[in-house]
Chain A
Amino acid sequence: MNLIPAREIATQETPRKLRITVLRHNPSEPDITPYLQTFEVEEGEGTTLFIALNEIREQQDASLQFDFVCRAGVCGSCAMIINGKPALACRTLTRDLPDHVQLAPLPGFELIGDLSVNTGKWMRHMAERVQTWLHRAEETISLDALEERQDPDLAEKIYELERCIECGCCVAACGTAQMRPDFVGAVGLLQLARFKLDPRDTREDADYYQVIGDESGVFGCMTLLGCEDVCPKELPLAQQIAYMRRQMALIK
């Protein structure tokens, strides 16, 4: 007890030099074709891609674009392709990566510049389309009365499906989403599964069928399961998509 974890005091004789290659493009400079640029960064103890990219921007290239907000793996801003796989950059420790790191923006989203993509616009569109809010029977809520009771287990199950942070990794890893820009994605299907689980939501299966009962919805999924492989919150995406598909298949 009370020892510093061995990893933290293990002194490396010479810190690693990381080579970080970024796929760069600024759509407001359309004349410049996308290119790869490599930066060198010295690795420190506990260096994350958040730390490394900020260091590059502060010391080497002030124009480099990327998005971080919480830098704690909670807000979903910093998803990017890291050595070929979508992941959250802020909580990726460089010690888990090889000497050469390749970064690219998430595919499937509008590019803002370099590693910054417009997931916000995509997610808002998805939310409007599948209506990711509780559809209650009654319009007015009494704020003074005792709250409606809910089964404690059910509340926990709902939270389980509500942990999605809309980072976009599942969309970037999805074969269908890359071919069909209108595909609602694992993110959209999971969110609907959340409301379907909630007995207070008045929508029937037929209503859900209206929004996801076709190829742009639950029948577009090819069960490649890239979404589940990369989900940083380890959400049960495959299971929920299968469940929604079964329910929708029973409609007609």
Chain B
Amino acid sequence: MEIVHTDALIIGGGLAGLRTAIGVRRRGFDAIVLSLVPAKRSHSATAQGGMQASLGNSVKGQGDNEDVHFLDTVRGSDWGADQEVVRMFVHTAPKAVRELAAWGVPWNRVRAGDRHSVVDGKSVTLKEAEGTHGLIDARNFGGTAKWRTCYVSDGTGHSLLYTMSNQAIAEQIPVHERMEALSLIHEDGRCCGAVVRNLATGQLLVYIAKAVAIATGGCGRLYRTTTNAVINEGMGAAMALETGIASLGNMEAVQFHPTAIVPSGILVTEGCRGDGGLLLDVDGNRFMAEYEPEKKELASRDVVSRWMEHHIRNGKGVKSRFGDHLWLDIRLLGKEHITTRLREVNEICHYFLGIDPVEKLIPVRPAQHYSMGGVRTDHTGQSPQLRGLFAVGEAACWDMHGFNRLGGNSLAETVVGGMIVGEYMADFIESSSADFRFSAGVVQQAVAAQQKLLSSFTGSENPVRIIEDMRSIMSEKVGIYRTGEALREAVTQLQSLLQRAKHIGVKSSARGANPELVSAYRSGSMLKLALCIAQGALQREESRGAHFRADFPMRNDRDWLCRTLATWEDPEQMAPTLRYEPLDVMRMELPPGWRGYGAKERIEHPHTAQRQAEVEAARAQDKNRYELQRELMPFEHLLPESLRGKNARFQEEPV
């Protein structure tokens, strides 16, 4: 058995994993990145529209700062987010964009003078200030008060991932490609490595590390229709769950993106609507203006997706052989804009739909897009239950997104999270190196368990069928509209699949890569994750953000202002153990209220009025924005020291 030793083992070669690895490496420790695929092929590459950071350079971004970004993000989360973490995030996002610029990312830049744009369906001319020429530009995205989304055409994720990956190569960080971590090795509540399978050769190996980070992205492939890449099966989160110790947070919080093309589910960016694109129904009617008079197409994703499904249910969808859909209209943006700022969208329309979006409407319908939930961590990115285990990016529930993530906040989270978690991981390695130990027995047991699993597939069930059935159940019963009845059915059916998964048979005995075997060993883990989502959704009898219960349509702060924690202690148990972690209203900088879009009715938390009065009293004092913020909810002490500096802005007086 080959054993590889390192200080930090980073599982996942996307933006979050690579930035974490760079952070650790720069502190003088060894880091190895494991990746299912070559790092530059990670799902981060497909992010199109951009990354939120409150630079406030463009005329439509002026007056923006951390405070505004904070308010947008918390409202977007429907008050499910950890507000301290949101503060850490919005404070660090401008630094992340600027670091990436210095590493070479060719962000689109502000061009002084007249700028033609489309706002609310109308052609307008904006004037960019002379002094901002050449600073980083931003575009409009949903659920934001300012134009804040920094972008590189609509290939932002690609540009970021290539820059980051090349930076990691420059720092000589090894990426072990086509490697899949199967299980975490842990002893006495400390994670000390992973059992890993080489996907090309089938060989098992062991990685021993002083700290391990899960940066494996989301789990969209639990659903039938998803924008996610085929590798996003949630195996990182599942591996944490299967320790029986680490917990997953808010797995029922699943985002559906409004504009996936029909039928393939490939994403076209929110930038289409941010730049002025419209949603139309079968009659050519701009229906979002009726449902959301203020934000229209640019309400948060959960709200827009819900109204789209609602509108389709009311018979306003366009019939097609692939089911009903709606239209995305970007024709009004013009050819020049579409072929430069939306060129990936243009390519996707040509290749996958056979249409020219300059002339034609794009068929769209919401599809699974993002998992707000993931491995629960504290503000440093470490699991509160399993020391030495970190998680970052979409795989984590660090919890800056609560029950709905804003567009542009995920690319930002990957890099910001990596910057912060990399530092804390290095701190952990530094402070705990002396007492790091692992016993050979534990490693052997972990390996033996995987060997046993891999040789157990002698039954008659087909793993591909099981996974397909799971995806149908998730899409049909654990989607945008949820009811207790459908969720109960989903849980029962998923449990029966989990039972069947114990009798899987693998026909192919190919040495080396064996795709059938991969489906076989992943299926049980995927089902456990699916059950965390379905069971969490069943028990949460309220509607919050992307979690909408038709039978409990109101947000209920009184009973449900809390985070769901799922654990799976006994491998034989058939459902997750769910516990709830309350969010403390009395410590919130922004007490619960209306989001500014979506439903207005809610059940208040008993402490909200009192906290609201405290916050208003504080705001009435004569204090600058930094002093006020510090009084309401201090957070700077939670950041690594290197990231605490104030962010400079064009035309903002330094305080």
Contacts and interface: CB of A to CB of B under 8 A. Distances in A.
B513 interface: yes
Name the residue among B41, B97, B200, B511 with the largest chain A CB count within 10 angstroms: B41
A77 interface: yes
Contacts of B110: 152
Contacts of B163: 133-134
B515 A64 contact: yes
B170 interface: yes
A29 B512 contact: yes
A222 to B, nearest CB: 28
Nearest to B465: A58
A156 interface: yes
Contact of B134 (A46, A77, A149): A149
Given A2-B361, A27-B512, A62-B507, A144 B648 contact: yes
A119 interface: yes
Nearest to A46: B263
Interface residues of B, number: 93
Interface in B149-188: 152-153, 155, 158-159, 162-163, 166-167, 169-170, 175, 177-178
Interface string B619-655: 0000000000000000000000001011111100000
A219 interface: no
Interface string A65-82: 101111111111100000
Contacts of A75: 37, 40-42, 45-46, 229
A72 B266 contact: yes
B360 A132 contact: no
Contact of B515 (A65, A77, A127): A65
Nearest to A136: B102
B104 interface: yes
Contacts of A159: 106, 152-153, 155, 159
Interface SS of B by simple majority: loop
Contact of A124 (B158, B169, B352, B363): B169
Contact of A26 (B45, B178, B464, B512): B512
A56 B646 CA distance: 56
A118 B159 CA distance: 22
B109 A155 contact: yes
Contact of B102 (A76, A148, A151): A148
Contacts of A120: 37-41, 177-178
A149 B516 CA distance: 52
B318 interface: yes
B602 interface: no
Report the interface size class on chain A: 35 or more
Contacts of A124: 38, 169, 175
Interface stretch (B81-89, B286-294, B340-348, B589-597): B340-348
Interface in A34-88: 45-46, 48, 57-58, 62-65, 67-77
Given A26-B511, A76-B41, A7 B229 contact: no
Contact of A29 (B95, B137, B231, B510): B510
Interface in B454-508: 464, 506-508
Interface string B305-341: 0000000000000111110000100000000000010
A207 interface: no
A70 B348 CA distance: 12
B355 interface: yes
Interface string B548-590: 0000000000000000000000000000000000000000000
Interface in B368-387: none
A1 to B, nearest CB: 6
Contacts of A136: 102
Interface stretch (B67-75, B276-284, B420-428, B528-536): B276-284
B436 interface: no
Contacts of A2: 280, 282-284, 318, 327, 361
A163 B158 contact: yes
A23 interface: no
A58 B467 CA distance: 11
Contact of B133 (A74, A116, A149): A149
Contact of A67 (B37, B320, B643): B37
22 contacts: A26-B512, A26-B513, A27-B512, A28-B202, A28-B510, A28-B511, A29-B512, A62-B464, A63-B515, A64-B515, A71-B266, A74-B45, A120-B40, A132-B169, A133-B170, A144-B648, A147-B97, A147-B136, A149-B134, A156-B153, A159-B155, A165-B158
Given A62-B464, A133-B163, 17 more contacts: A27-B512, A62-B516, A63-B515, A69-B42, A70-B229, A74-B46, A77-B37, A77-B41, A112-B200, A120-B37, A133-B167, A134-B103, A147-B102, A149-B109, A152-B109, A156-B106, A163-B158
Interface of A: 1-2, 4-5, 7-9, 26-29, 45-46, 48, 57-58, 62-65, 67-77, 91, 93, 112-113, 116, 118-121, 123-124, 127-128, 131-134, 136, 141, 143-152, 154-156, 158-159, 162-163, 165-166, 195, 198, 200
For the complex of A and B, the 7 pairs showing the least CB-CB separation, nearest first, are A120-B38, A149-B134, A28-B512, A62-B516, A134-B104, A143-B95, A144-B645
